[in-house]
Amino acid sequence: MICTECHDDTLHGTEGLATTRYDNPNAIKCEDCHEEIWTDTADNPQHAQHLSDIQCQVCHSVSYKNCYECHVSVDEAGLPCRTSEPSVMDFEIGYNPIRSSERPYKYVVLRHVPTCTGTCDYYGSNLMSFFNALPTWKYATPHNIQLNTPQNESCEACHYNTEIFLSEDDVRVDELEANKDVIIKDTSFP
C-alpha cells in the first residue's frame, strides 16, 4: 500500500493550530476500510469484547522505533549539533493520553518521543521547566499492521503480559511524573 490509499491531503493538518497531529476531524480510521469489524463480531469474540476499549494497533501492530534523549550539544569544533541515544525497537501499551470521541480507547500503543529534560540546555537553562506537563510516551499509530501478532495469539499472550504494558520500570526516573497518566499500574493491570 502507498500512503494515499489511506491518507488524503489533510494528513499534514487542516487550518489552524492543533494540539496533536491527531487533531483532524477527517483522520483516517481502521474502520473506514474495515467496517465489518463492528458488524461481524460473531466469528471474532476478541473484537466483540475489546473494540470499544482497545485501539486496533494494540492487537495488530508489532515492535516499532522509539527514540530517546535527542538534544542539542556542541561538537569538537564548537558548533551546535544534535545528539541522541540509539533508537530502540519496542512495543508498549498504555493508557490513552488523548482520549476523545474520535479516539475513545482506554488502551493504546505508545511511542517514546525523542526528548529529555536536557533537550534545550545548549540554548539556556531551565528552558524545559514544563517538561512534566505532557507525557514523553505519546499516542502512536504504527504503520506495521499485521493480522497475527505475538500479543493476539491468545488471551494470555496479552493479558497480564508485563513485557508489553508500559510500567514504571519501563520509564526513566526523570520522566515518571510526565508519564504518570499513561503508565499501567499494577493494581489496574488488564
**Where do the domains of the chain lie?**
53-188
Strands across the sheet with 107-112, in order? 92-95, 107-112, 137-139
d(CA 154, CA 161): 11
Average pLDDT over residues 99-121: 89
Q: Where are the beta strands (DSSP E) in 33-113?
A: 64-66, 71-74, 80-83, 88-90, 92-95, 107-112
pLDDT, one tens digit per residue, over 126-185 is 888 999 999 999 999 988 999 999 999 999 999 888 899 999 999 999 999 999 999 998
- Three-class HEC string of 143-162: CCCCCCCHHHCCHHHHCCCC
The 10 Å Cβ neighbour count of residue 140 is 20
Residue 12 has pLDDT above 70, yes or no: no
* Residues 66/94, Cβ–Cβ less than 8 Å: no
DSSP class of 185: P
Which residues, 6 or more positions from 106, have their beta carbon under 8 angstroms from its beta carbon? 53, 54, 95, 96, 99
Report the candidate in 118, 126, 122 with the shortest Cα–Cα distance to residue 175: 118
Q: What is the pLDDT of residue 14?
A: 65
